[in-house]
Amino acid sequence: MQIIRTIKKMQSVSRQLAAEGKTIGLVPTMGFLHDGHLSLIKRAKKASDVVVTSIFVNPTQFAPHEDLDKYPRDEKGDIQKIAQAGGDIAFIPTADEMYPDDFQTHVEVAEKTLTLEGKIRPGHFRGVTTVVAKLFNIVRPDVAVFGMKDYQQAMVLKQMVNDLDYPIKMIIAPTKREKDGLAMSSRNKYFSSEQRPQAVCLYKALILAKNSKIKDVREIDSLMRDEILHICPSAVIDYIAFTDLETLKPVEKISPDTVCSLAVSVYAVRLIDNMKLK
């Protein structure tokens, strides 16, 4: 497997692959890879000839009070995992490489970034869309694979691809879960063995909503909050939202296109999850 650390080298390799008629798949990550990431690499491998996995902890999507410095990193382990999953290239730039001193340009999607995570974390999605736009320009993929766990992010990036006419096929892969249902996340490592069982509260609440025959979202919201606090009494719920699958606009009644998204802090570890309800 090839490791590339500079933009110029990555662009050169991408141009050469395209000249050879090879299709390129891209899996953007922030590293500390788990089985969820590896499933995205395997999915990209099915859809392209050469898979590039980027590892970059993007500083522009973290607010000053968030966990940028504490975000887990394991470059050596990540490289081994990428190779084992069938990845072909690991693109690992530094922050200075991606954002030189005179960097001034940002990419921003308007409407879809105003709710859910965008409302709680102002500026977060501008950082996401900017870095992914840069990765698209550097790697020039034919296919890009993202996970459903970061559902709003996937829809925002899909909007960016459509609006800016990127010739890229977007694949949104299903959320990979632990045996008890907890969505796989790099942040799960923060839990102690005593705390970890309570992290399943998000999944249990989503399953409750999915299995409910209630159509009114306010009633389901109340049931979900009770379920979360029953499992983890100290949990802090940022939001529970019911939105249209494509537009992300809020809905009042459950339909086949309704997605429930939630963000909950469990022992100060902020988790997100979502599920299509029908």
Instruction: Specify the amino acid at residue 104.
Output: Q
What distance, in Å, lies between the first and last C-alpha atoms of the chain? 41
**Residue 64 corresponds to which amino acid?**
P
Q: What is the pLDDT of residue 207?
A: 98
The fraction of the chain above a pLDDT of 70, given in percent, is 100
Per the prediction, the chain carries an average pLDDT of 96
Does the domain spanning 2-173 belong to CATH 3.90.1010.10? Answer: no
**What is the distance between the alpha carbons of residues 278 and 211, in angstroms, rounded to a whole number?**
9
CATH number of 186-273: 3.30.1300.10
pLDDT at 70: 83
Q: pTM (2 decimals)?
A: 0.94
For residue range 167-206, what is the model confidence (pLDDT) as tens digits?
999 999 999 999 999 999 999 999 999 999 999 999 999 9
Question: Pick the catalytic residue: 37, 65, 106, 124?
Answer: 37
What pLDDT score does 68 carry? 86
Minimum mean pLDDT range among 61-70, 140-149, 182-191, 227-236: 61-70
Name the pLDDT band for 249 (thresholds 50, 70, 90): very high
CA distance 206 to 217: 12
Catalytic site residue 37?
yes
Residue 65 has pLDDT above 80, yes or no: no
Q: What tens digit of pLDDT does each residue of 118-134 get?
A: 999 999 999 999 999 99
Which residues fall within 8 angstroms of residue 203, CB to CB, at 6 or more apart? 177, 180, 181, 182, 183, 273
User: What are the extents of the domains in the chain?
Assistant: 2-173, 186-273
